[in-house]
Amino acid sequence: EWLDALNGYLWENYLFLRDYFARHLPQFPVLPLEGTYLVWADCRAAGLSSDALTRRLLDEGRLHVNSGSMYGAAGEGFIRLNIACPRKLLAEGLDRLKRVLTT
């Protein structure tokens, strides 16, 4: 029962993130969720390497995400976001992400 509730909450967080990106960051597509709580976002439109982008997010937005490059060459240009958190915290992180990516 608790696992079903957790999975439902994580799915709702994914939908929240996907909607946020569609409304505020449409140039950065979100990939379909594949049975995990880590979401891929295509950030190639930012014109930065994954490592440079994750450093910028940490330095300017105080937001820690995974660089796509840590998953190999195919991950370059992508970031991976953890959605296994309270939705209020997710919303705050997305606002920080938006501030950095749109400045």
DSSP string, 25-92: -TTSPBPPP-SSSEEEEE-GGG-S-HHHHHHHHHHHH----EEGGGG-GGGTTEEEEE--S-HHHHHH
> Mean pLDDT throughout 59-82?
97
Q: What is the DSSP letter of 102?
A: T
> Mean pLDDT throughout 79-91?
97
What mean pLDDT, rounded, does the chain reach? 96
Contact 37, 82 (CB under 8 A): yes
User: Domain containing 49 — which CATH number?
Assistant: 3.90.1150.10
Provide the pLDDT for residue 14: 98
- How many domains in the chain? 1
Contact 63, 93 (CB under 8 A): yes
Question: Token pair of 80, please?
Answer: 């991976």
Q: Give the domain extent around 65.
A: 2-101
The pLDDT-based confidence of 13 (bands split at 50, 70, 90) is very high
